[in-house]
Amino acid sequence: MQTDADTDARQEGIRARADLVTALVLVALGLAVIYLSWTMPRLEARRIHPSTIPGLVPLFLGVGLTLLGGLLAWRSWRIKAPGGWQDLIGLVRTREALRIGVILALALVHTLVLVGLIPFWAAAMLFIFTFIMVFETWLNEGSADPVKSFIWALAVAVVFGGGIYLVFERIFLVRLP
């Protein structure tokens, strides 16, 4: 029988390994930002002062992200976590992890495929509609009526997808992709 101390130690091990994975991703992202900031045009030909170059703020943010990710990795690595990797992999196989993966996939398809391929308002409507349909029908804990879900998803997608377009394009005068 597991005691509360065993459960707490196990949870701490899972968190430590999850933090380590997150830290490695943050360090990689920070290094990529540093590299891309460093390779941005410096605009010396236009006599731009070095303290106002376009990549300066992203460079500082990349350095900060790399340093803080490194600190998190160092802290997470030092924590004793017997069985932490196995428990973390077991946690990744849960329904909650599937839901997070679907959210990530939908966001990536919206951002990397739809935006730019079709008008932004259509991409937003399609994303909102798909998100609601997937989570109301396929990934819902209980059973949902597909017809009601379809009508609800369509209404929300039209109102909010169109609303995003109207607010940014017409009110804030921001050109959307």
Mean pLDDT computed over 125-141: 92
Lowest mean pLDDT, pick from 56-60, 93-97, 150-154: 93-97
For 78, the token pair is: 């030092």
Lowest mean pLDDT, pick from 69-73, 84-88, 96-100, 109-113: 84-88
**Alpha-carbon Rg for the chain in angstroms:** 22
Q: How many CA atoms lie within 13 A of 10 on its CB side?
A: 12
For 68, the token pair is: 């803080």
Please check the confidence at residue 1 and state whether its pLDDT lies above 60.
no
Whole-number mean pLDDT of the chain? 87
Q: How confident is the model at residue 144 (pLDDT cuts 50, 70, 90)?
A: confident
Task: Specify burial of residue 136 (Cβ count, 10 A radius: 0-12, 13-18, 19+).
Answer: middle
Please check the confidence at residue 4 and state whether its pLDDT lies above 80.
no
pLDDT, tens digit (0-9, with 9 covering 90-100), for 55-64? 888 999 999 9
More confident residue, 59 or 97: 59
More confident residue, 93 or 132: 132
Q: How confident is the model at residue 148 (pLDDT cuts 50, 70, 90)?
A: very high
Please check the confidence at residue 168 and state whether its pLDDT lies above 70.
yes
pLDDT, tens digit (0-9, with 9 covering 90-100), for 18-40? 888 899 999 999 999 999 998 88
- Is the separation of the CB atoms in 115 and 123 below 8 Å? yes
Q: What is the model's pLDDT at position 122?
A: 95
pLDDT, tens digit (0-9, with 9 covering 90-100), for 103-121? 999 999 999 999 989 999 9
Residues 149, 129: Cα–Cα separation, whole Å: 10
Residues 46, 3: Cα–Cα separation, whole Å: 68
For 100, the token pair is: 């997070």
For 121, the token pair is: 């308002």
Residues 88, 20: Cα–Cα separation, whole Å: 11
Residues 127, 107: Cα–Cα separation, whole Å: 8
